[in-house]
Amino acid sequence: MFDSGLGGLTVVRALGELLPAEDIVYLGDTARVPYGTRSAETVVRYARGCAALLLEHEVKALVIACNTVSAVAVELLRAELDLPVLGVVEPGAEAAVRAAEATGARRIGVLGTAGTVRSGAYPRAVGRLSTRFEVVAQPAPLLVPLVEEGWLEGDVPRLAVERYLAPLIEAEVGAIVLGCTHYPLLRPLIERAAEALAGRPIPVVDSAEATARQTEALLQERGLGQEPGHLGGLQVLVSDAPASFATSAERFLGYPVRELRQVDVVLG
């Protein structure tokens, strides 16, 4: 599994809870984070470098935990690599369609990085599943640094969240997708703010959980699942180890990282 940085550990956490027998090698490209503000061409180059490094670890499947990479590079990596590749956009879109169908709404809201929104990946993924929904996507760039700083509650994140949610609420969306690795940590605040603005609860879909479920289905379907008795381990690789690494990693993962190594991601 790889991500631009440590945010993808939210997907590791969801996967670890659902599939505790699986061994996970996680690569965070902390030397190059953030990806969300960069061009699609640059993100594709970074993604190829990350995938090549993980292939050296003889992985049986590749999960792209980063929404920005999933938005611009999932098809390409599927075509180039000889193993199953999962992104987070398709599972998130599927969960959102399911949640919105139950509400009778015509629109689905997405919060994501500028790169994810610009790519149009969520409208495409939702459009492949249902013609009923229009996607209203809102870039929410300030939420990434807020989460990195651990500002998950209080006036500052609340005001930022309300500002980003306002256009989605105005569009009367039936569900909101957290289309970025970092946003699940703000989920309680986002749920409360959405309810306060709309005057009713709005289902919030976490693509980390949806991706874990699709990974489980894929491993089962291809007979790639680990022996049930096995206790899965987690190895974390980073391309740079910033000073605040341990605290941020624990915030995303929910427990301390035990096995950590710094690596070089070689770009083509």
Which of 66, 95, 126, 202 is an active site residue?
66
Say which residue the tokens 């007979």 belong to: 223
Residue 62 has phi, psi (to 5 degrees) of -120, 125
Q: Kindly state the number of chain residues that form the binding site for ligand DGL, as judged by CB under 6 A.
A: 17
Using CB under 6 A, pick the residue from 10, 30, 67, 215 that binds ligand DGL. 67
DSSP state of 31: T
Asked if residue 113 lies in contact with residue 37, where contact means CB atoms within 8 angstroms, the answer is yes
* Beta-bridge partner residues of 204: 176
144 contributes a contact to ligand DGL by CB under 6 A: yes
Query: 48, 54, 69: which is closest to 24 by C-alpha?
Result: 54
Minimum distance between the CB of residue 183 and ligand DGL, rounded to whole angstroms?
8
Query: 256, 245, 236, 259: which is closest to 1 by C-alpha?
Result: 236
Using CB under 6 A, pick the residue from 9, 11, 15, 33 that binds ligand DGL. 33
Using CB under 6 A, pick the residue from 34, 123, 184, 203 that binds ligand DGL. 34
From 4-12, 119-127, 150-158, 161-169, span contacting ligand DGL (CB under 6 A) = 4-12
209: buried, middle or exposed (CB in 10 Å: 19+, 13-18, 0-12)?
buried
Of 181 and 215, CB closest to ligand DGL: 181
68 contributes a contact to ligand DGL by CB under 6 A: yes
Asked if residue 2 lies in contact with residue 70, where contact means CB atoms within 8 angstroms, the answer is no
50 is catalytic: no
96 contributes a contact to ligand DGL by CB under 6 A: no
149-208 binders of ligand DGL (CB under 6 A): 180-182
157: buried, middle or exposed (CB in 10 Å: 19+, 13-18, 0-12)?
buried
> What binding mask, one character per residue, do residues 109-138 give for ligand DGL by CB under 6 A, x or -?
----x--x----------------------
* Beta-bridge partner residues of 62: 85
Catalytic positions, please? 66, 180
Residues of this chain that bind ligand DGL (CB under 6 A): 3-5, 7, 33-36, 66-68, 113, 116, 144, 180-182
